[in-house]
Amino acid sequence: MRAYGSVILGMLICGAFGCADKPATDSAEGEPGQSAVSKDGYKVRKLDPGRKYKIGFSQCTVKEPWRVLFNELLKREAAKHADVALEVQDADDRTEKQVADVRSFIRRDFDAILVSPKEAPGLTGVVKEATEKGIPVVVLDRDVNYGGYACFVGGDNLEIGSAAGRYAVDALGGAGKAKGIVYEICGGLASTPAQERRDGFHEIVDKEAGIEVKGGLDGDWKLDKGLSIMQDALKAIPKIDLVYAHNDPMAYGAWQAAQQAGREENIKFVGIDGIPKEGGLWVKQGKLAATFLYEPPGAEGLRQALKILRTGKPDARRITLKTRAVTAETVDDYLREMGE
Ligand code: FRU
């Protein structure tokens, strides 16, 4: 983890991953930018001697290794800044706890709030509340249904879903000729990454007359749910050619179910996240056919919160972290680059 951490930190500063900043949009519907805060941005916060910026981070869960890595990278970034006092709260996968955690940051007058929401509808109100009180909020990875907050940092999930769709079409025979049964396992469907990973994938795959997509159940991003959903699917569907799961833990759970049923050799498994200790490893082992990198946004999020506190504005209102495909052909290079 240490080697990966130091390498990924370098990469997060737009090294090997690169990163594409979309320019700030001041008026686009639904985009961060319709802020309750003045057009000139947030109040620049000058620190009195000896005082630190109080930054609160509300993480929705740490039940998945991707989130543990996300926290670690965020904390390491915070540790580089002597003027930052960071408090991290884990909502334990519960929307009510996450709302209470963010509210507690507001009540205790934190200078900035970072939040990676469990789901969009439940967290929208409290993000708006903080913004209306003048507190800069940086939303990470999963979005809310309100665009007025200060900055979003995360991957382009529509594009990642489309990339997975193009991979599936190629794996099943190529555009216009592709043929087969795809079984889809969704992430938490009240969250924006699951909706976008589904929509991006369908935009590509639904054009293929020879491909039928079944499934679409909500696996809440969890390995054990991916496993049990797939156990049922295997009983009901005699032939499945490819499984598309919205993250690597669910793809791996599905692979385990297929292995128990002796059917794993006939199915290709595709996931998303690509962290070296999970997706990267499972591609290397030949269990997953492909995964798509979904870079943890913690370090960049912390940098943007500080930028807002120091200058009143983030670098851009939407910062999109790049993806890449990890397959049998690319996995060795990928893992080497990640220091594994
Ligand atoms: C972790 C996770 C990742 C996924 C992301 C989507 O909680 O499920 O696996 O890519 O959240 O928000």
C-alpha of residue 247 to centroid of ligand 1, in Å: 7
The whole-number pLDDT of residue 36 equals 59
The whole-number pLDDT of residue 308 equals 96
- Give me the mean pLDDT over the 281-290 stretch: 98
| Rounded CA separation 222/53 (Å) | 35
- Give me the mean pLDDT over the 48-56 stretch: 93
More confident residue, 333 or 25: 333
- Domains located in the chain, CATH noted: 2-151+296-321 (3.40.50.2300), 157-294+328-337 (3.40.50.2300)
* Percent of the chain predicted with pLDDT > 90: 85
For residue 268, is pLDDT > 50?
yes
- Give me the mean pLDDT over the 274-287 stretch: 97
- In sequence order, which residues have a C-beta less than 8 Å from that of residue 150 and are 6 or more positions away? 32, 35, 37, 42, 131, 136, 137, 138, 304, 308, 314, 317
* Percent of the chain predicted with pLDDT > 70: 88
3-state secondary structure labels for all residues of 44-66: CCCCCCCCCEEEEEEECCCCCHH
- Give me the mean pLDDT over the 38-57 stretch: 87
pTM of the model: 0.90
C-alpha of residue 66 to centroid of ligand 1, in Å: 7
- Give me the mean pLDDT over the 294-298 stretch: 98
257 contacts 238 by C-beta, under 8 angstroms: no
Nearest CA owner, ligand 1 atom 8: 221
Pocket test for ligand 1, best of 63, 66, 195 (most atoms within 8 A of CB): 66
C-alpha of residue 68 to centroid of ligand 1, in Å: 11
Beta bridge partner(s), residue 115: 58, 139
Of 13-17, 238-242, 256-260, which gets the smallest average pLDDT? Answer: 13-17
pLDDT band at 41 (very low <50, low <70, confident <90, very high): confident
Pocket test for ligand 1, best of 116, 153, 159, 221 (most atoms within 8 A of CB): 221
Nearest CA owner, ligand 1 atom 4: 247
**Residues whose beta carbon lies within 6 Å of some atom of ligand 1:** 61, 64, 66-67, 141-142, 187, 191, 193, 221, 247, 272-273, 294
The average confidence (pLDDT) of the chain is 91
C-alpha of residue 164 to centroid of ligand 1, in Å: 16
C-alpha of residue 316 to centroid of ligand 1, in Å: 23
Residue labelled with tokens 């000058």: 46
- Give me the mean pLDDT over the 215-234 stretch: 98
For residue 31, is pLDDT > 70?
no
201 contacts 169 by C-beta, under 8 angstroms: no
151 contacts 139 by C-beta, under 8 angstroms: yes
Nearest-atom number in ligand 1 for the CA of 63 is 7
Question: Smallest Cα–Cα separation from 326: which of 264, 258, 251?
Answer: 251
